[in-house]
Amino acid sequence: MSLKVSNLTVHHGAIRAINDVSLEIPTGKLAALIGSNGAGKTTLLRALSGLNHPTHGAISWMDQSIIGIKAELLVRKGISHVSEGKSVVPELSVRENLELGAIWRRNKKESKESIETVVSIFPRLGERIEQRADTLSGGERQMLAIGRAIMSKPQLLLLDEPSLGLAPLVVEQIFQTIRDLTNSMNLTVLLVEQNAMGALKIADIGIVLNLGSVVISGEAKALIDDPAVRSAYLGY
């Protein structure tokens, strides 16, 4: 019952973006995947959700290999991916964006209940429920993107830079919500972040990726105190 990646290699055209990566996230834990621009964080996340195809290696989720399964089918196995840059459909209303997350379950009643759950987590979305998503602020869009993922009733949540372009205060809120959701819904979370400090503070596990390979991994608290991590990624 965990996410397990073994010896994964992913090519991005001719470039080897992910090189022989192995990692494991136990159920119910929040892992922060940090690293500089171009380290391969997004590529790794997209391989996990079926958006791109690894050239080598294995991925297993709940003791089942998920390699080669398309993204639209992985949702049905409890994997929800919030892609980079506020992954909402701007032309659709807030309600429609949320409904989208539950659309594959084909159950309007369950979908309505899930919307209530999401609105109780993000009351702001409730106030704007009939508005188009492109009228929302950056923070609200990120809430909507996470809300859409929650609508799928995931067990594994993959988040790609939710803090991108948000004001510090909003970032703090979003991070706190991610932590709370992990506990209350017993989610397994892989959080990709440039904001290394913010991510490590809420995470159980920290993984540092550099040039496509895992360079350090361990308890998040230990990583914050690690002098090498501090100088390279935390900036002090």
Partner 1 sequence: MQLINTILIGITAGSIYALMAISMVLVWRSTRVINFAQAGMALLSSYFGFEAVSKFGSFWIALPVAMIGGALVATLIEMILIRLLVKHSSTGPIAAVAPIIATLGLLGVIRATASMIWGGQDVRIIGPVSNDGFTVNGTTLVFSPLKLLILITVLVLMLILSIIFQKTNIGLALRASAYAPEIARLSGIKVDWVRTLGWALAGATGAVAGMFQTINGNGTLSPDSIDFSLLLVSGFIAAVIGGLDSLPGAVIGGLVLGLMISFVLMYISGGLFFIAPFVILLLVLFIRPQGVFGAKAARRA
What's the closest the beta carbon of residue 87 comes to partner 1, in angstroms?
Answer: 6
- Candidate list 15, 26, 55, 103; residue touching partner 1; CB under 8 A: 103
d(Cα 109, Cα 14) in Å, to the nearest integer?
Answer: 47
**Minimum CB–partner distance for residue 159 and partner 1 (Å):** 12
CB of 84 to partner 1, least distance (A): 11
Beta-sheet strands, E only, within the chain: 2-12, 15-26, 30-34, 56-61, 64-65, 79-82, 156-160, 188-193, 205-210, 213-219
Q: Is 164 in the site for partner 1 (CB under 8 A)?
A: no
Residue from 62, 67, 71, 185 touching partner 1 (CB under 8 A): that is 71
Residue number with CB closer to partner 1 (52 or 217):
52
d(CA 48, CA 74): 9
Cα distances (angstroms) measured from residue 205 to each of 20, 71, 113, 189: 20, 25, 32, 10
Q: Which parts of 1-40 interact with partner 1 (CB under 8 A)? A: none
Tell how far CA 185 is from the center of its chain.
15
Kindly give the pairing relationship between strand 56-61 and strand 205-210.
unpaired
Q: Which of 6, 26, 55, 76 binds partner 1 (CB under 8 A)?
A: 76
Residue 106 interacts with partner 1 (CB under 8 A): yes or no:
yes
Number of residues that bind partner 1 (CB under 8 A): 28
In the complex, least distance from residue 99 CB atom to partner 1, rounded to whole angstroms = 6
In the block, which residue shows the tokens 């690690």? 226
Calpha distance 92→28 (Å, rounded): 32
Instruction: Return the residue of 53, 70, 112, 221 that touches partner 1, per CB under 8 A.
Output: 70
Distance (Å, whole) CA 130 – CA 125:
9
Q: Which of 58, 92, 129, 222 binds partner 1 (CB under 8 A)?
A: 92
Cβ neighbors of 231 (< 8 A, separation 6 or more) are none
User: Where on the chain is the footprint of partner 1 (CB under 8 A)?
Assistant: 49, 51, 70-73, 75-76, 80-81, 83, 87-92, 96, 99-101, 103-104, 106, 132, 134, 148, 152
